[in-house]
């Protein structure tokens, strides 16, 4: 059994954890819930040695004896393994090489590749992970890479497995495969900590649920005790959220964006297309939801229209506010009246080492230029207005983006485009990795845009979000548009059937 007793941690100006206690028992999976910034990641960084002793207060006990981890290697040696949301694998190496990196099978001081592959196959077979040991990691799906990461932890005799947002980029089939393996591990006596914003998954796979709010442990409950989703949400955010999807009705107006027969060439396969002959319109005061499985071309559609590929790589027409647009780069898209919140805010959206100020105003600086010089007073004034109006939780506009929670980072990204004031905003997975409270706030921002007669194109893999917030729905499969619905006609069954081809 592993216990964390009265764990506290302070960062400059912020008390991240206040006397938090948890018990992780063999043969059980503990769900850990809380809003972004509640302290979940900080707590797990302490447990896994990323935040070393003595940089925190409190005790960690394993089997009744106090232990102190001064580095991740020490935690790993004692059987604590953490699977981060951003996987820690080497894409150019084979699965077998990744599994035993740093612990290679050797003979006479030379790596025994035959033994390494045999050991890798035995390990994968043991946990029923259907992956070729010789395959390169870069050629595998995210779901299979995640299973490889888990298998690597198990090869080091992990007793406690921590999974941080493990299903954020997985298909439904991959989620079920992950759950099967977790159930097998639990039956074998392993203990787990499952961190997720997906409350239905928490209820499905976890034996108990601990809730953190503002760095404190609010309580622990059993999913079998008649608990419903709203009970967990209320514990997380400290208030009732009556309507998770606060969609507002509107009367769509003039066409803002008209996309006709849009295609994008495949970057790796000459003659193939990743988007083919897609057409749609977006009107004033409207949210167009775009749904498709991973690999359907949904992200590439937005990226292509926004000028993210070379001008020679796409064809078709893009008309913005009645004017044909020649978009050869993102700069052309921005000046033409488009904005894009990318799928991966950390890699493609934010400048993580730059301040909130820089991240918010970077695409709107021309609005503050007078006589060739940026008027910093006006810039800061408007930034502070957005920070206040959007309730962006940051000590100041000079805080780095990296230091913010995921939900706050997403709101900074939205504020960037609100400052630019585009006619149409593309949102690619706008609430991925965001807690339920921040989701509701993001939806309200989207509603404000609708009410100000802007258009939104929202790509999402969350069917509930799609149906809850969209006015119309476009479904994609294998790079093509395979169906469109008015909100009143759309159902999860119809959309799922089109997306999978089971019509």
**Domain spans of the chain, in order of start:** 2-241, 254-337+422-502, 347-421
Q: How open is the CA angle 65-68-73, to the nearest 5 degrees?
A: 120
Contacts of 79 (CB under 8 A, 6+ apart): 157, 158, 159, 160
For residue 423, what are its two tokens?
A: 């006619």
For 36, 84, 227, the CA distances from 8, given in Å and listed in that order, are: 18, 22, 29
Residue 83 CA to residue 146 CA, distance in Å, equals 8
Q: What is the structure's pLDDT at 316?
A: 94
pLDDT at 242: 55
Distances (CA, A) of 244 to 1, 134, 427, 458, 465: 37, 45, 18, 17, 9
Terminal CA-to-CA distance of the chain, rounded, Å? 50
312's CB contacts (< 8 A; 6+ apart) are none
At 13 the pLDDT is 66
Q: Map residue 18 onto helix, strand or coil.
A: strand
Q: What is the pLDDT of residue 370?
A: 85
Kindly report the number of other CB atoms within 10 A of residue 457's CB atom.
25
Dist. CA 418–CA 354, nearest whole Å: 19
Task: Give the tokens for residue 57.
Answer: 């207060």
3-state DSSP: the chain helix, strand, coil percent, rounded to 5? 35, 25, 35
Residue 472 pLDDT: 95
Tokens 């940026």, located at residue: 374
Q: How much is the pTM? A: 0.68
The matching CATH number, chosen from 3.40.50.10490, 3.90.950.10, 3.40.50.300, 3.40.50.11540, for 2-241 is 3.40.50.300
pLDDT of res. 432:
81
- The pair of structure tokens assigned to 60 is 């960690």
pLDDT of residue 459: 95
CB 188 within 8 A of CB 22: no
Q: List, in sequence order, every residue forming a beta bridge with 163; answer none if it has no partner.
A: 83, 194
Sheet holding 29-33, edge to edge: 80-83, 160-164, 191-195, 29-33, 208-213, 216-221
Residue whose token pair is 């077979």: 125
Bridge-based pairing of strands 80-83 and 273-283 is unpaired
**Phi then psi for 230, rounded to 5 degrees?**
-65, -30
What is the token pair recorded at 21? 């206690």
Up-side HSE of residue 49: CA atoms within 13 Å toward CB? 16
pLDDT of residue 75: 93
What's the pLDDT score for residue 115?
85
254-337+422-502: CATH homologous superfamily? P-loop containing nucleotide triphosphate hydrolases (3.40.50.300)
- Tokens representing 196 are 């997720």
**Spatial contact of 289 and 431, defined as CB atoms under 8 Å apart:** no
Closest listed residue to residue 330, CA positions, set 340, 320, 322? 340
CA dist 27 and 184 (Å) reads: 10
In order along its 503 residues, the chain shows pLDDT tens digits of 999 999 999 887 678 899 999 999 999 999 998 876 788 888 999 999 999 999 999 999 999 999 999 999 999 899 998 888 777 889 899 999 998 887 777 778 777 778 888 888 998 888 888 889 999 988 887 778 888 888 888 888 889 999 888 887 677 777 888 898 899 989 999 999 999 878 888 888 999 999 888 889 987 777 766 666 667 777 776 665 556 788 788 888 999 999 999 999 987 778 889 999 999 999 999 999 999 887 789 999 999 999 998 888 889 999 999 999 999 999 999 999 999 999 888 888 899 999 999 999 999 998 888 888 888 899 999 999 999 988 888 889 999 999 888 788 989 999 999 999 999 999 999 988 777 777 888 899 999 999 999 999 999 988 888 999 999 999 999 999 999 999 889 888 899 889 888 76
Rounded Cα distance, 111 and 101, in Å: 11
Within 13 A of 380's CA, how many CA atoms are on the CB side? 7
- Select from 335, 358, 359 the least CA-distant residue to 413: 359
DSSP 136: B
Residue 18 has phi, psi (to 5 degrees) of -130, 100
Residue 369 CA to its chain's centroid (Å): 35
The pLDDT value given to residue 84: 80
Quote the crossing angle between the two packed helices 142-155 and 113-126, to the nearest 10°: 100
* The domains spanning 2-241 and 254-337+422-502 adopt the same CATH topology: yes
pLDDT at 389: 87
Model pLDDT, residue 111: 77
């Amino acid at each position: 059994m592993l216990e964390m007793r009265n764990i506290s941690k302070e960062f400059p100006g912020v008390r991240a954890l206040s006397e938090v206690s948890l018990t992780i028992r063999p043969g059980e999976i503990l769900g850990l819930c809380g809003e972004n910034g509640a302290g979940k990641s900080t707590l797990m960084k302490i447990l896994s040695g990323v935040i070393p002793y003595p940089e925190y207060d409190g005790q960690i006990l394993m089997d009744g004896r106090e232990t102190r981890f001064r580095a991740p290697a020490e935690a790993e040696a004692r059987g604590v393994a953490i699977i981060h949301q951003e996987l820690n694998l080497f894409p150019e190496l084979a699965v077998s090489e990744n599994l035993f990196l740093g612990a290679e099978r050797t003979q006479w001081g030379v790596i025994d590749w035959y033994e390494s592959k045999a050991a890798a196959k035995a390990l994968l077979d043991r946990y029923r992970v259907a992956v070729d040991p010789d395959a390169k990691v870069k050629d595998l799906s995210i779901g299979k890479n995640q299973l490889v990461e888990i298998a690597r932890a198990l090869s080091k005799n992990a007793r406690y497995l921590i999974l941080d947002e493990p299903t954020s980029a997985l298909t439904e089939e991959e989620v079920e495969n992950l759950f099967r393996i977790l159930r097998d591990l639990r039956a074998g006596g392993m203990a787990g900590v499952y961190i997720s914003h997906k409350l239905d998954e928490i209820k499905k796979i976890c034996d108990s649920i601990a809730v953190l709010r503002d760095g404190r442990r609010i309580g622990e409950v059993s999913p079998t005790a008649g608990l419903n989703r709203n009970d967990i949400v209320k514990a997380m955010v400290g208030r009732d959220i009556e309507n998770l999807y606060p969609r507002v009705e509107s009367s769509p107006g003039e066409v803002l964006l008209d996309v006709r027969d849009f295609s994008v060439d495949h970057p790796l396969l000459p003659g193939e297309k990743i988007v083919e002959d897609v057409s749609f319109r977006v009107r004033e005061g409207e949210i167009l939801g775009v749904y498709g499985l991973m690999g359907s071309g949904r992200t590439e559609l937005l990226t292509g229209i926004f000028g993210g590929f070379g001008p020679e790589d796409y064809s078709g027409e893009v008309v913005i506010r009645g004017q044909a647009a020649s978009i050869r780069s993102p700069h052309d898209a921005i000046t033409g009246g488009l904005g894009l919140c990318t799928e991966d805010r950390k890699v493609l959206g934010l400048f993580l080492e730059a301040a909130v100020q820089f991240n918010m105003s970077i695409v709107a600086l021309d609005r503050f230029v007078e006589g060739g010089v940026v008027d910093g007073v006006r810039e800061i004034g408007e930034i502070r207005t957005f920070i206040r109006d959007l309730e962006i939780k940051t000590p100041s506009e000079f805080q780095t983006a990296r230091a913010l929670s995921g939900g706050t980072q997403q709101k900074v990204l939205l504020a960037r485009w609100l400052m630019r004031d585009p006619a149409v905003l593309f949102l690619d997975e706008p609430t991925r990795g965001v807690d339920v409270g921040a989701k509701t706030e993001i939806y309200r921002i989207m509603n404000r845009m609708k009410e100000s007669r802007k258009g939104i194109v929202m790509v999402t893999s969350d069917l509930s979000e799609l149906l809850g917030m969209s006015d119309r729905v476009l479904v994609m499969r294998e790079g093509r548009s395979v169906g469109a619905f008015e909100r009143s006609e759309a159902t999860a069954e119809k959309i799922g059937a089109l997306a999978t081809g089971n019509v």
